[in-house]
Amino acid sequence: MLLSSGVFLSTAFSETVATENEVEQFANMAWIKGGTFVRGSNFKDNQATLKLCRKYDRSCQLWWFSDEFPLKLVSLKSYWIDIYEVTNKQYMEFVKATGHRPALDDTCTTDSCWQGNLWKGDSFSMLIRNQPVTQVDWYDAVAYCKWKDKRLPSEAEWEKAARGPSGNIFPWGNGSPKGRATYNQKWKGIATMTIVGTYPRGVSIYGLHDMAGNVWEWVDDWYMRTYYSIGTKKYPKGPQDGKFKVLRGGSWVNFADSLRGAFRRWSRPDVRFNDTGFRCAKDSKQFLE
């Protein structure tokens, strides 16, 4: 189906979307068909990760990756997910429309902390308008997605979108991140991150950009180290509560081992970082499995 705007939509989309508003909402989203996918890592995978990690940090320990264990087939319903991370330009539209606070850490007490803020009040350099927004906490991300009539993806949805049904190491497969992601960088202000979609060779099997590197991404789930061992394999949503929320995907500051699609990180939901952003997801009207 080809719209007048030149946007291609899948057959699934044309069967379920009726209004122009819905067309606009789904235009930059990918539809992920429901079914099973390979989630997590096995012991052999963890050993390979340890070897990769020790190229950069000799203190790496095998247990650091134990929350990815065990490897399981997990089932999901069909869903939609943003092709790109939410940008500064998009987030500014949200701030202006709702009066929500700007994307910056206003609790800073040191110059080095303030330097991590790319927004100055409710403005920013036009050079970063299409870079991913950062300095947003989990609650900010939830509010933005709700404003767009979307939601944060579950951790399982994020992992399937990044790794594909068979569990690739990285979104693009098993090759090196070089030339496929923004990673292993030092802070350079507005030159630190890249415009979303910069690396066409780094897309996932579903055509999603920057699922590795650039910025960490908030997902909906609470974090539990043993959740993969005890949680349900059918439509997992994570623990009912907790202290930390899950982050996925690695960022501009991380090494290659943290860019793996299986890697799990956690943070307090009220903390803002200059390496953390998000993308949104949405339920599908077609509940194919």
Q: What is the pLDDT along the chain (289 residues), one digit of tens a residue?
A: 444 333 445 445 544 544 566 667 788 999 999 999 999 999 999 999 999 999 888 899 999 999 999 999 999 999 999 999 999 999 999 999 999 999 999 999 999 899 999 999 999 999 999 999 999 999 999 999 999 999 999 999 999 999 999 999 999 999 999 999 999 999 999 999 999 999 999 999 999 999 999 999 999 999 999 999 999 999 999 999 999 999 999 999 999 999 999 999 999 999 999 999 999 999 998 755 5
Locate 35 and state its tokens: 């079914």
Contact 109, 100 (CB under 8 A): no
Nearest alpha carbon to residue 132 among 61, 192, 79, 75 = 192
Q: Please name the fold of domain 33-283.
A: paralog of FGE (formylglycine-generating enzyme) (3.90.1580)
Backbone CA torsion sign across 99, 103, 107, 112: negative
Nearest alpha carbon to residue 136 among 287, 281, 275 = 275
- pTM as predicted: 0.91
The set of residues, in sequence order, having a beta carbon less than 8 Å from that of 152 and lying 6+ positions away, is 138, 141, 142, 145, 218, 219, 220, 278, 280, 281
Helices 88-98 & 138-147, crossing angle to 10 degrees?
Answer: 80
Question: Backbone phi, then psi, for 149, in 5-degree steps?
Answer: 60, 40
In Å, how far are 37, 105, 133, 226, 285 from 129, measured between CA atoms? 35, 18, 9, 39, 32
One-letter identity of residue 228? Y
User: What ranges do the domains of the chain cover?
Assistant: 33-283
| Residue 179 CB neighbour total at 10 angstroms | 9
The set of residues, in sequence order, having a beta carbon less than 8 Å from that of 49 and lying 6+ positions away, is 41, 65, 257, 260
